[in-house]
Amino acid sequence: MKIKYLIDENLSPLYKEGLLRHLPNLTVITIGDPNAPPKSTLDPEILIWCQKNDFIIVTNNRTSMPVHLAEHLKQYDYCCGIFVLRKKFTIGEIINNLVLIAQTSDAERYRNFISYIPLK
């Protein structure tokens, strides 16, 4: 399955712009975009939306997202995955890593996991 990214509303628009500059055919939307969850949607609802629409969420939410994932997995079969941005990396480094993942990986690889970007 192809990777599709849902960018958290609290991240810079530069993430979406940079990803599409590198991979124009990549599906990347931001919370609040048309056909995406509206801004201020609660994390558990975002995880349900991602599951229904096969998107991996890209976020900097290191605190509550692991808790929400655990609760989500208790109630539902799976989660498409969560990419949490590591601190102390530039937007460019993170975009390059997300591009590499989209070019070389299948979305199934990240199902039910939180992965920290850049991958190590």
pTM of the model as a whole: 0.94
pLDDT digits (tens, 9 = 90+) for 25-74: 999 999 999 999 999 999 999 999 999 999 999 999 988 888 888 888 88
Q: Is 1 helix (H, G, I), strand (E, B) or coil?
A: coil
Q: What pLDDT is attached to residue 69?
A: 85
**In a 10 Å sphere around its CB, with 0-12 CB exposed, 13-18 middle and 19+ buried, how is residue 115 labelled?**
middle
For residues 98-114, give the mean pLDDT: 94
Class for the domain spanning 4-117: alpha beta
pLDDT at 77 over 80: no
pLDDT beyond 90 at 95: yes
75 band by pLDDT with thresholds 50, 70 and 90:
confident
